[in-house]
Structure 1
Amino acid sequence: MTKGAFVTALDLYIIVECSGQKVKRIYLSQGSPDEPSHLAERIAAHLEKGAPCPSPDLDISRSTDFQKRVYSVVRGIGRGKTLTYGEVAFLAQCPKGARAVGSAMATNPFAILVPCHRVVARKGLGGFAWGLEVKERMLALERNDAAEMTK
């Protein structure tokens, strides 16, 4: 049984999978969930309206130490901001690990809460599991929100 919420600006659903109190996975889907999720609704509000980002307990037990460091760095990237794969690698104490950061982002089980869409290539957007158009829309939403906050 899937739980989630619709993100109007992306025309996609956020799906949240939990085991007990821990979040196992968060992802975007074209298919609608079986039932609503309060956490997914809060994540959607964060993405679309700049509401506070929820911080549930993420199950990182299957993540490597490197992935944990990368996720920690990426969670610190502010709304409307980006870092390159190389910058994330440097901050994760692996200065030559840009490709490894790309792999960690490609397998990131916590979309939006570990905002892999904010990690870009040195020359361009790089990749994204849900396509570059979705990555562009997510970044535009956040940039517009950040611009509104500085007015």
Structure 2
Amino acid sequence: MTKGALISSLGLYLHVECTGNKVKRISLSYELPDEPSPLAERIAAHLEKGAPCPSVELDLSGCTDFQKRVYSTVQGIERGERMTYGEVALLTGRPGAARAVGRAMATNPFLIIVPCHRVVARGGLGGFALGLDVKERMLALESLEGSG
């Protein structure tokens, strides 16, 4: 059974999976969730309207130490800001590991809470699992004046 909420401005559903009190996975999908999720609604409101980002405990048990450092660094990127893969690599103590950061972003199980859409290539947007058009729209939502 999936739980989630609609992100109307993207035309996508935010799905949230939890194990106990920990968030195991947050993803975007075109599929309607089985039931609503108050947490998914709060995360969607953060992205769409600039509401405070919910404070949640992430289940990092399936992540490598490098991924944990990258995800922690990326959580520090403020709404409306961007950072390059290389800058994230430098801040995690692994200068030159921009490609590894890109891989960590591609496998990020905590979308929006770990805002991988805010990590871009030096010369452009980089990649995004649901396509660059979705990444562009997510970034645009966050940079709109008066979105909060």
Off by >3 Å, runs of 4+ in structure 1 = none
Runs of 5+ in structure 2 lacking a partner? Answer: none
Matches within 5 A, 1:1-151: 1-144=1-144, 147-148=145-146
Cα distance between partner residues in 2 of 1:112 and 1:30: 16
Question: Share of identical aligned residues, percent?
Answer: 71
**1:148 Cα shift?**
2.8
Deviations 1:96-133 (A, max 9, x none): 10000000000000000000000000000000011100
Secondary structure at 2:146 match in 1: helix
Secondary structure at 1:148 match in 2: coil
Runs of 5+ in structure 1 lacking a partner? Answer: none
Cα distance between partner residues in 2 of 1:65 and 1:14: 26
Cα distance between partner residues in 2 of 1:22 and 1:42: 16
The residue identity in structure 1 corresponding to 2:74 is V
**1:67 Cα shift?**
0.5
TM-score (norm 2): 0.98
**1:78 Cα shift?**
0.3
Cα distance between partner residues in 1 of 2:85 and 2:12: 26
TM-score (norm 1): 0.96
Cα distance between partner residues in 1 of 2:140 and 2:26: 21
